[in-house]
Amino acid sequence: TAVLRESGIEWIRAEDISVGDLILSGALAAWPGESKEVSLESAWFAGAFLGNGGLYFDGESDYVVTFKHSDLDVCKEFQRIASEECGASARKIIGTPGAFSSACGRREAVESIRSLVGTDYGEKGQWKIPRWVWAADESVAKSFLAGLIDTDGFAPGAFEVSYSTISHPASQGLAA
């Protein structure tokens, strides 16, 4: 059974569950052996991609990674990480307002991004929190959440965060 304790997610036997343990369902917890090493930058990229990104094949030769954001610096950071971590080359950035960034890449770059954001990325609006987030170090999980908040979130106060999504599975994962 996976439980969340102050020290993080732990795998324990059912008889070792203690008062105060938060039991995680199999749908939310990463099973042993499914964790992956993810850098802080890749975690942020995954969150930002799930917030405002997309993938498609242009019908000719390019696989295209898209990302829209009103802050040109956020677009540049997204493209830098897409290039360095996933192998997608920058194609264009259109200036503000409504900055837009686009990167093209080989099939391998697109597969790298799909692997990072999880195999549950697919039908528009129906993504889930990648399984690796649940087993990640706190700093990596926070970086993933920062990517989400930088794109579709709002932080009005020191301990207040709001995130908006049309994905029911994602909202359930974020609530957990």
- Cα separation, 142 vs 47, in Å, equals 10
Give me the percent of the chain exceeding a pLDDT of 70: 70
pLDDT at 31: 45
Q: HSE-up of 118 (CA within 13 Å, CB side)?
A: 23
Over the stretch 49-68, which tens digit does the pLDDT of each residue have? 888 887 777 666 667 777 88
Over the stretch 93-119, which tens digit does the pLDDT of each residue have? 666 556 666 767 677 777 788 778 875
SS3 53: strand
- Cα separation, 100 vs 109, in Å, equals 19
Residue 80 has phi, psi (to 5 degrees) of -60, -45
- Cα separation, 65 vs 86, in Å, equals 11
At 30, the pLDDT band (50, 70, 90 cuts) reads very low
Structure tokens at 91: 């194609």
Residue 46: how many CB atoms within 10 A of its CB? 28
The answer to pTM > 0.85 is: no
